[in-house]
Amino acid sequence: MHPSTMSDYTISAIGHIQSPYKQKFAIPRQPRLVPEAKAKLIFAPDFNREEFVRGLDEFSHIWLLFRFHETADKGYSAMVRPPRLGGNARKGVFATRATFRPNAIGMSAVKLEGIEYKNGQLSLLLAGIDLLDGTPIIDIKPYLPYSDSMPEASAGFADTRPETHMSVEFTPEVLDFIAQQTQYPDLQAFISNVLKQDPRPAYKKQKDGQQSYGMTLYNYNICWQVNESHNLVTSIENT
């Protein structure tokens, strides 16, 4: 074996994500499933120059390579249980997009909505994000439809877009709160689409009866109840 294949490499983050997802719970399992999930990529000082992104605004979507920073220290497993299979079947880690990987590296194709240079800080404005707040970004590449999109490809156990048939309703008090805030005009749709992905653990989905949950999106604590396939958002308040 050539010595170069056995080398260790040091990779430095080029920036980090400012995301509405403040905890792993409720993050969509793939990018672009919740289009209203807006985020910023904040460039690190060494890369905080417009030259690094010159021409990037010609592309509608980009690839983000990132590090699973919250699980990287937990090691990896050769076999994992994909949530898509209900947590009951085991697959090889390289046949999944699980977080517990040898190098803890992930990738997401997201929408690029703009490039911002404000008060001396370079940022990318993104949509359809599926990353935890603070996620380190290690590389950016433009998405190339002619090369990256392969309509004839098959995808094994994840061959179709996940659908849950979950409905979402808000109490009048929650709707009033959402209407009064102006910072996030798509907040109601954002919450709805997050809950329609049914973020509950797989084993919880098999249980009958009403279940109560909470999550943090942006700077809001949100509580809701699940009864079969119906979600009722019962409260929302500032963190």
The pLDDT of residue 83: 76
Dihedral angle of Cα 227, 231, 234, 236, to the nearest 10 degrees: 140
Query: 222 falls in which pLDDT band (50, 70, 90)?
Result: very high
Average pLDDT taken over every residue of the chain: 91
Residue 70's pLDDT is what? 87
Dump pLDDT digits (tens) for 31-75. Answer: 999 999 999 999 999 999 999 999 999 999 999 999 999 888 888
Residue 155 or residue 119, greater confidence: 119
Task: Report residue 2's pLDDT band, with 50, 70 and 90 as the boundaries.
Answer: low
pLDDT band per the 50, 70, 90 thresholds, residue 206: confident
Listed in sequence order, the residues at least 6 apart from 107 whose beta carbon sits closer than 8 Å to its beta carbon are 63, 64, 65, 66
Segments making up each domain of the chain, as ranges: 15-158, 167-238
pLDDT score of 201: 81
Average confidence (pLDDT) over 152-163: 74
What is the pLDDT averaged over residues 136-155?
A: 92
- Tell me the CATH number for domain 167-238: 3.30.2310
> What is the predicted pLDDT for the residue at 124?
98
Query: What single string gives the DSSP state of each residue in 168-215?
Result: EEE-HHHHHHHHH--S-TTHHHHHHHHHHT--S-GGGGG--S-EEEEE
Residues of the chain with pLDDT > 90: what percent? 68
Q: 15-158 with 167-238: one CATH topology?
A: no
- Model pTM? 0.86
The correct CATH number of 15-158 out of 2.60.40.1930, 1.10.10.10, 2.40.420.20, 2.40.30.70 is 2.40.30.70
> Longest C-alpha distance within the chain, in Å?
66
Contacts 24+ apart (CB under 8 A), 113-119: 113/38, 114/57, 115/50, 115/53, 115/56, 115/57, 116/40, 117/50
